[in-house]
Each structure stands twice: as structure tokens, then as C-alpha cells.
Chains A and B, each alone.
Chain A
């Protein structure tokens, strides 16, 4: 268990780091083929996720932040095996055994699905309009052979109340709920199987500001109650800051920096993290931004060397030619930048 404001947070994190990780992502790759011509032959690949290495400890929240096209959603979906990977491994600890997620057959996938679930971004698109709440939330129990009949209904009713809905909502259909309530249904559907790992992909970005806080607090409360582990994907740095223990920064399909939240926010090591933090609008003061020029590169046609070098103000000749690999700078902090040792970057 981690609390976000405690002073001995670093100690807790290092204590966590000594345990066996709940999830290990090793060299994960997901390429989407670019097809062209009448015969649809493959002319190239969009490297949506490229050689990502992450470990996630039980009970922590890993925030994944990046702009659109950075591969953060593809990463989440591939970890949960909604996409078949191009390469790499995902290992999930289940009690004493370790599941190699990409080698499971359809029977064993049930075990994985009981342990790992996903919350989707758009509460209007992620619910079937022809299924009522009981059917929607009960379906994971049914397809994974966990419960049925009376038992199923009881479990659904219980989880529905935990996410702040009422039992009389069970027979209603999605159209009669507001966006915030729909997202609660989505959360209930993920939690009904008692998973250990939940991948939340932008769960509040489609909601109004006053509703966002309700959902974020709900996710935090549920985490404390059930010792959930979150991979929390968002483009909003302030939301990531509120939710996460550690932050992974992604850019153009690559993991560019990974480390404890406070370290990344106050002392980023990668120039992209610095630019991202600088770009975040702030209410307290107006100050000069480091406005990074240009845009996220075309993922089908990445620049040579470091993917960020065309926008990086610190770029050197080395950055234009050699691809930087993830390396550990200090315990728990990894970065993929040639210049990480020499630059002194500004945080918040």
C-alpha cells in the first residue's frame, strides 16, 4: 500500500521494488503493417510500441503519459492481450506461478482475464447499448466461468454498489446513464472478476471536469480497498500526478523515461519530459515555456537516431545518428537519452 503524500514514500517504493514484480513487460513490440496497392502487400510498419521494458509492482500505480500517437494506448491493449504482439513477453505473477501472457491458449486465457482487466476511455462507445447493466457487468463472470445465475446477480449487485450505483440500476440500459455513471459501469465490469491488475486507458478524459474528480477518487478508493495495481494511461499530466506512484513517459512508440513520480516531475532526465512538463498550462504563474517545435513524427517513417531529435533543442550529432537505449541512471530511474548525464533539465 502506498499513500501519495507520505514523506517516507521513497522508502515504501524501494521496499516495493524489492518484492517480486506483479507484471513484467520485456522488449514488447507491436507493429501495425502499412498495406498498399491492389494486393495489399506490406510496404512498411507503424511501430506503435517499440522495445518497451516495464515492471509493475503489486499495489502501485504506474502512470503512462504521452501525446496522441505515442503508443500509450497500444501498450495498454497489448499488455492485456487485446492486440497480439509483434515481439516480446509479458509475464504476470499469479500466486506462485508466472503466466507468460502471450503463450496462453484460450483455456488458460481465462486465468489471465481473471487477473487483468481494462477500463476504456469512451464510456459512450465501450458499453453495448443493447445490454443492461446486469448483462454488461455480469458478462466477464459468465465467459470466464466464474459465476452464473443467482450467484452472478449477487456479485454484480455488490460491485455495482461499490462503484456508487444502486441495485435498481441493474435492469437499466446504458442510454439512461450519464457519462460519469457509464464510466462507473465500465469500472464495475473490470472489477467484478476481482482482478489484480487493471489497465485504465484515459478513464476520465471524456468526462466533465466536475465528474472527473469523482471517478479519480473512486479509482483510488477501490485501489486501497482491493490492493489493485493500476496501469493508468493519460495524456493529462495533472491527472497522472494525482494518480501515479511512478511515471512512464512515452514518445513515438518508445519508452523515453521511467521513474518515481516526484523525481520525474521535479527533475526530468529526458528533454521530451521537460518539454511535456513545460507545455502543461499552469494556474499559479505565467512563465516562459519551452515550446518544442514541430510535431510527433510519422510512426511509419521515424527519424534516424533518437526519435525526439528533430524537436529537441539539446540535440547533438550523436542524437541524429545513434539510437539511444534505455539505461539506468540511478536506482529506479531509466531514461533513453544520450545526454542524460550532462543535461540539467527543469521540472515543475
Chain B
């Protein structure tokens, strides 16, 4: 029984050293849990088509964590919803790509393309919660107000783990609530969502996501609605549970610092595309994409020297317009006119673990552009600083 793993009190957990864990898990393809290849999720709206996710590819290995950073509207949540097949359809639709889950089937390992399953099918329901669990941003709206928290967790257990009795499921729900740090779980299992505070509700949400022991936990901005001290509690909790259950984690946030604390790898998204993908430390010490660099410079830091923030000029382009070239072109300081606005930059592998989608690192494409490089960049930079 998957849920009957020995329970260790969370509070006694020693600090989890990520670097050691990384050494233990060898990087090989057998360890892959999820492969997303060229995922495209579009929203067909009255005003036009929004390419919310436009050709996104990434892998997450078992037990590893991927952080997804981006501003609102960059498609980071829709990427996750596509894995769970909970994109509201219509207007949304996964129009292309593959989401491959490496599952342990009854006859050994098997690979399932989630996008080929029907969203409301029995197989998809078997994957949701049981293989992939999800924590949502606003814990108030993700619980039904009409049922007690315990009721909803018990329902998930009964649905996904056949053969569980109601009594055992209730016992398990109480155990889980205790595990995520809810005081007096035997009493609060019968509480309605509105009776819990924001932090407690998010803990209950986590308990529900973990109820069927998923292999991948998707956390979509789970702490955005919470205060800093509560946020710290929830982050510690997710991290210790990830270690304990050996789950893969996909952590979505607009907060760079939070993502950096939670992730082994970081993926930066902009307007439905992956701009850069690198290990956490590499991403912070050596960001390559002009968007990543600009984002890093524009954020107030809590440590280090205090310099004037460098702003990214302009705003997000109209999402209904189809970008022929790089979506960041209009705001980029290092843009190469004639190249960046004409074609979509390819994903370039700078090192085996570091990929970036930018023509600056594509010497072949750059050599074909006749205009002088440094001049062009300088000009655009001065133009940029003129616009506030």
C-alpha cells in the first residue's frame, strides 16, 4: 500500500542538504519521471487566439525539483494545468506536443502520453492525485466550501486507492493533516475550509495533494497569498515532505528568491516560451538570456549592495499578436534587428545542463546578419534608456 509509508515527525527533520542528495541520484534517463516535448496550449477567445504555452519542453527526474519563473501571463500555470489536463476546455486546448509520464504499470514500467488521454477518462483520473498531485495558489477557492476538509481528502483517497474502507481513509486523512502541521487533526478534520486560516488551508491543500502519495507534486504559487513567516513555514514543509516521499517537484512562482530556495533546476518563461533553463546556481550566477539578466537586475534584493534598480522598459506585448521572432524583442537591450524579429530563436545548448533561447549565442545565425553587431546593440540600448 503506497500510503502506508512509515511516518516520521516533520519537526524532527534535520536540514535537508540538497547537494548531497543530488550526488546520490545519478543523472540518467531511467530516472526520468516526466518529459514534456514541444507542448502547445492555446486559448481560442473571442478577441483572438492566445498562445499561452507555445512550444515548451522540459524534463523532471524522480525526486528532483524544477522551478518555473515568469511574470503573469507567461504560461507557467497553464503548463502545469496541461500536465493535469485541467485546462478549461473550451476555450483552452492542448493543440500539440507530448507530455510523457514514466509510470510503473502492473506489467513493469510504461510511458503514457497524457495528452492522448481524454481529460475526463478513467485513466486520466488514475493519474491525477495518484501520480501527479497539485497545490493551487488560492487555497480558499480550491476547496469546496460545502464540505469539510476531511471529507474532501477522504473522497480523494477513496476514489484513487481502491479497496480502502471509509474508516481507514478517515484515519489516513487525520494522519496526513497531522503530518502537515495542523494542530488537533482529529478535531480539524471536521472543519470547513472557511474555519481555517490561510496558512492552515494551504496545509490542508498540501495534505490533500499528498493523500495518494504522488510521484510528482506541482505547486502553483502555493505561498503567494500568504504572509512571509507563514510562507517560510509552508516552504519548509513542502521541502521536507518532498525529501520524505521522494517526490519530484515542479514549483511555479513569480518570486525568484522562493523558486531558488525550492529548486534544483530553474526554467524562465516569457510569453508562453522557455527563455532559459539551467541549474539553480548557474542561473543566478551566470544568466545568459537578456530577459533573465534584465529580470535579475530589476528586482530589489534583500542582501548585497544596494544599487539603483535597472528597469525593463515597456510592458508585455499584446498576447493576441503572434510573435514571428523572439517575444522579448521589443524590450530587449541586446536585440539584433533583422535577426531577432524575423525568426524564432532556437534553444541553444550552452552546456549540457544550460539551454538558452537567444540568437546571441547562435554564432551561425549571427554571422549571416550583415549589420555591425556592437553598433546595433549600442543604438538599441540608448533608445531603450530614453524611454521610461
Query: Given the complex of chains A and B, what is the CA–CA distance between A237 and B294 in angstroms?
Result: 21
Of B227, B257, B258, B300, chain A has the most CB atoms within 10 Å of the CB of B300
A336 to B: closest C-beta gap in Å: 18
Interface check A59, CB cutoff 8 A: no
Contact of A279 with B294 at beta-carbon distance under 8 Å, contacts A217-B308, A241-B300 already known: no
B254 touches A279 (CB 8 A): no
Stretch at the interface among A47-55, A146-154, A283-291: A283-291
Interface check A25, CB cutoff 8 A: no
Interface check B295, CB cutoff 8 A: yes
B257 touches A289 (CB 8 A): no
Query: Which B residue sits closest to A221, measured CB to CB?
Result: B388
Interface check B304, CB cutoff 8 A: yes
Query: Given the complex of chains A and B, what is the CA–CA distance between A236 and B226 in angstroms?
Result: 12
Interface check B299, CB cutoff 8 A: yes
A245 to B: closest C-beta gap in Å: 12
Q: How many residues of A contact B (CB 8 A)?
A: 44
Query: Which B residue sits closest to A214, measured CB to CB?
Result: B311
Interface check B256, CB cutoff 8 A: yes
B229 touches A275 (CB 8 A): yes
Query: Given the complex of chains A and B, what is the CA–CA distance between A164 and B18 in angstroms?
Result: 45
Chain A residues near B71 (CB, 8 Å)? 208-210
Chain A residues near B200 (CB, 8 Å)? 295
Interface check A329, CB cutoff 8 A: no
Interface check B232, CB cutoff 8 A: yes
A208 touches B72 (CB 8 A): yes
Q: How many residues of B contact A (CB 8 A)?
A: 44
B309 touches A217 (CB 8 A): yes
Interface check A68, CB cutoff 8 A: yes
Interface check B235, CB cutoff 8 A: yes
Query: Given the complex of chains A and B, what is the CA–CA distance between A283 and B296 in angstroms?
Result: 10
Partner of B228, one of A211, A279, A283: A279
Query: Given the complex of chains A and B, what is the CA–CA distance between A282 and B307 in angstroms?
Result: 17
Interface check A34, CB cutoff 8 A: no
- Given A292-B232, A348-B302, 14 other A-B residues pairs in contact with their CB atoms under 8 A: A213-B310, A213-B312, A217-B308, A217-B309, A218-B388, A238-B302, A242-B300, A279-B228, A282-B302, A283-B260, A283-B301, A284-B303, A291-B229, A295-B197
Can you list 24 residue pairs at the A/B interface with Cβ under 8 Å?
A5-B305, A5-B307, A67-B227, A67-B230, A180-B315, A209-B299, A210-B295, A210-B298, A213-B300, A213-B309, A217-B309, A217-B311, A242-B306, A277-B302, A278-B232, A280-B228, A281-B260, A282-B260, A284-B303, A286-B18, A286-B261, A291-B233, A296-B227, A348-B303
A residues with a Cβ closer than 8 A to B are: 4-5, 67-68, 164, 178, 180, 208-214, 216-218, 220, 235-239, 241-242, 275-284, 286, 288-289, 291-293, 295-296, 348
